Structure 1
Amino acid sequence: MRLASTKSVTPGMILAQSIYNENGVVLIQKGLKLTEKMLGRLLNQGITYIYIEDEFTEDIYVEPVLSDKLRVDASKTIKDIFLELRESGLKERAYILEKKGKKLASVVERIMEDIKSSEKSLSMLTEIFITDDYIFHHSLNVTIYSLAIGVEMNLSNKKLTEIGIGAMLHDIGKIFIDPEILQKPDKLSVEEFEIIKEHTTMGFDFLRKSADMPAVVSHCAYQHHERLDGSGYPRGIKGDEIHTYAKLIGIADVFDAVTSNRVYRDAMLPHEGLEIIYAGAINLFEKNMVEAFKRSIVVYPVGLSLQLSDGREGVVVRQNKHICDRPVIRIMSEDGKHMRTPYELDLASVINVTVTAVITD
């Protein structure tokens, strides 16, 4: 299979990776020939990249980050908590969070164990979902990325659990924001953006009143948009004034936001999202956390077509753990000529060859 821009896929091509909703239900089964109607629906849902079958890459297989059962359990837990809180009165909310707290911690611990036991780096692009509410999907992705950074930094299980719960609930304040503003498909006005920014304070005020939540969890909600140079919100605090967990979750939050499929804009590919994080590695984000994040994720996902500095082109077939910007490439063409017998090139062992472009059509 190879990864292609949905806009470049033509009717008749065969889907190589099933597309799901957040409940794990298959919406479009792999192996189906894609029709113009299907492709239009995917684009309307904000799905900008899909996997398609290709005779030269038919042996390439992409493994999910989490097991299907764990992803469904985690998505359901987040969705249940957010929806119950959104639809409940003030007096009921503290009880709901208390009731769901143990389930939340259990899901975080399961995700943490999956990440620790995996020999592979994270690539969320391999799991293509259509969801009615971005917040649930985003909260899970931010949890996964945050835990991956924490694991790479060798943090204790206690700290990882706190980070995981903080990441799952970092956007909890959005349940108090008008859904019409949250789900607006167009650019927000200045006034609307100011309302959105209030989710940090609202989340903090709600979580700090819960006796069963660690105090640091409320600070994750409060500070995940703060930045080292004081340019963040809601308080514009700087450096060590920002809680370590919030700094870490802030990196995961930005990366997932720019690499996720959204109706109003195309998702960036991981290498593009990482460039944004690196651009802020001095003024906005802790450099050691950015480096840990880079070691944790896949920069060029399996199935992605790349152009190399020596003119060769190929498809990513495998990753090199901890050097994720130097994958193994199956070379498909040299000097503009298609190879009759493709061969593999390990970029980790060839230091004078670099990736110069990503090919998505």
Structure 2
Amino acid sequence: MRLISTKVLQPGMVIGRTIWNEAGRPLLHEGVVASSQIINRLSQLNVQYVYINDKISQGIEIVEAVPLHARRQAVEKITGSFTMLKDRKNVDSTYCLDQQSKHFVSIIDQLLESIVNSEEIITVLSDAFIYDEYIYQHSLQVAIYSIAIARELKYTSDEVRQIGIGAMLHDVGKMLIPQEILSKPSRLTNEEYNTMKFHAKYGFDLLRNLHTISLLSAHCAFQHHERLDGSGYPRGLIDFEIHPYAKIIAVADVFDAVTSNRVYRKKMLPSQGMEIINQGIGTLYDEKVVKAFQKCIAVYPNGTVVLLSDGRRAIVSKQNRMAPERPWIRIFEENGELLSATYESCLEDEPAVKIQQVEVEYLIHSE
């Protein structure tokens, strides 16, 4: 299985992974042969990447720490709960959220069980789901990343649960922001941006009065946009004033934001998203949190074509839990020529070789 940009998807290529809609129904089945109509439809849906099956990537699989069916079920619960809250507006919002809290706890417990019982690092989904509402998928992804970071930092199970719930509900205050601002397809004006920033306080006010959710989880909503250097909002807190849980969610939140499709911006690849995070170490983001995140995220997902610093091309074939930035690779090209037989190597065993770039638009000569 190989990850490619839909820009270079051609009729006759075989789809390697099913794409689902938010109702849990398949939009495009694994094994379907791409046609011009299918390619046009993917473009209309703003799908940037798809997995294909071909000879060169045969046997490479995408293994998830959190199974796809568990993700779908979680998003369905989040969507139902958030929609109910949005429909209620300010009337009985806290009561409504309190009633839904058991769903949030069950989601986090399920995610925690999946991640604890899996040896897999977290893979960023590449357009596996198509959602009309970004916030629901985002809430789930931030929870998954935050739980993984918290586990890497050796928090207790109860602490991880608090962090996970805070992460899943970090944007709940957006349900009280006008829809025309949330869904605006262009850059917000200064006035609109100032309105948007209130979502952190709105979320805190909603959550702090709940009997079923920890006050620490509420502070995750309040502080997830704060930054170490005081440049964040809503209170401009600096390093020691920001709760450690919020520092975790800040990293997870930004990473998922830049690696997800938005109405006003194309998403970045995981390696590009991690570079954005790395640039903010010590000024925006806590170094310990970032280092932990680097250990539990697939920066180069399985099936990704990479150009190596020595000129070889390869496909990432397997993750390396001890050094995710140096995965196992399947070399298929040397000196610009396809090899008659591929071979496997772990980049950890080739310290002089680095991944120079990801090539999702690379077409193998035979194609």
**TM-score, length of structure 1 as denominator length:** 0.96
Q: What is the rounded CA distance, in whole Å, between the counterparts of 2:42 and 2:358 in structure 1? A: 22
Q: Deviations over 1:227-259 (max 9, x none)?
A: 000000111110111111111000000000001
Q: Map of 1:40-55 to 2, 5 A cutoff?
A: 40-55=40-55
Q: What is the rounded CA distance, in whole Å, between the counterparts of 1:193 and 1:38 in structure 2? A: 37
Which amino acid letter does the alignment assign opposite residue 111 of structure 1?
L
Q: What is the rounded CA distance, in whole Å, between the counterparts of 1:148 and 1:207 in structure 2? A: 23
Q: What is the rounded CA distance, in whole Å, between the counterparts of 1:35 and 1:185 in structure 2? A: 30
User: Is 1:314 paired with 2:310?
Assistant: no
SS at match of 2:330: strand
Q: What is the rounded CA distance, in whole Å, between the counterparts of 1:70 and 1:127 in structure 2? A: 16
Aligned match of 1:282: 282
Q: Deviations over 1:210-230 (max 9, x none)?
A: 233211122111110000000
Bigger CA drift: 331-340 or 121-130?
121-130
1:351: how far off?
0.7
Aligned match of 1:219: 219
Aligned match of 1:296: 296
Q: Deviations over 1:293-325 (max 9, x none)?
A: 000000111000011111111101001103111
Q: What is the rounded CA distance, in whole Å, between the counterparts of 1:89 and 1:248 in structure 2? A: 29
Q: Map of 1:1-361 to 2, 5 A cutoff?
A: 1-88=1-88, 90-126=90-126, 128-361=128-361
Bigger CA drift: 90-99 or 294-303?
90-99
Q: Deviations over 1:42-70 (max 9, x none)?
A: 23333211101211112111123322332
Contact 2:63 2:120 in 1 (8 A): no
Q: What is the rounded CA distance, in whole Å, between the counterparts of 1:89 and 1:51 in structure 2? A: 40
Which amino acid letter does the alignment assign opposite residue 162 of structure 1?
Q
Bigger CA drift: 285-294 or 188-197?
188-197
Q: What is the rounded CA distance, in whole Å, between the counterparts of 2:123 and 2:111 in structure 1? A: 15
SS at match of 1:357: strand
1:111: how far off?
0.4
What is the percentage of aligned positions where both structures have the same residue? 42
Which amino acid letter does the alignment assign opposite residue 196 of structure 1?
M
Contact 1:310 1:353 in 2 (8 A): yes
**TM-score, length of structure 2 as denominator length:** 0.95
Bigger CA drift: 158-167 or 256-265?
256-265
Contact 1:44 1:263 in 2 (8 A): no
Q: What is the rounded CA distance, in whole Å, between the counterparts of 2:102 and 2:120 in structure 1? A: 28
SS at match of 1:147: helix
Contact 2:111 2:144 in 1 (8 A): yes
Contact 2:89 2:176 in 1 (8 A): no
Which amino acid letter does the alignment assign opposite residue 214 of structure 1?
S
Bigger CA drift: 90-99 or 351-360?
90-99
Q: How many pairs does the alignment contain?
A: 361
1:100: how far off?
1.8
Q: What is the rounded CA distance, in whole Å, between the counterparts of 2:190 and 2:11 in structure 1? A: 41
Which amino acid letter does the alignment assign opposite residue 357 of structure 1?
Q
Q: Deviations over 1:53-111 (max 9, x none)?
A: 21111211112332233212211221111011111154432222222212211210110
Question: Compared with structure 1, are the counterparts of its residues 130 and 59 closer, same or farther at alpha carbon in structure 2 (3 Å cutoff)?
Answer: same
Q: What is the rounded CA distance, in whole Å, between the counterparts of 1:302 and 1:113 in structure 2? A: 23
Contact 1:62 1:126 in 2 (8 A): no
Q: What is the rounded CA distance, in whole Å, between the counterparts of 2:33 and 2:181 in structure 1? A: 37
CA RMSD of aligned residues (A): 1.4
Q: Which runs of 5+ in 1 are unaligned?
A: none
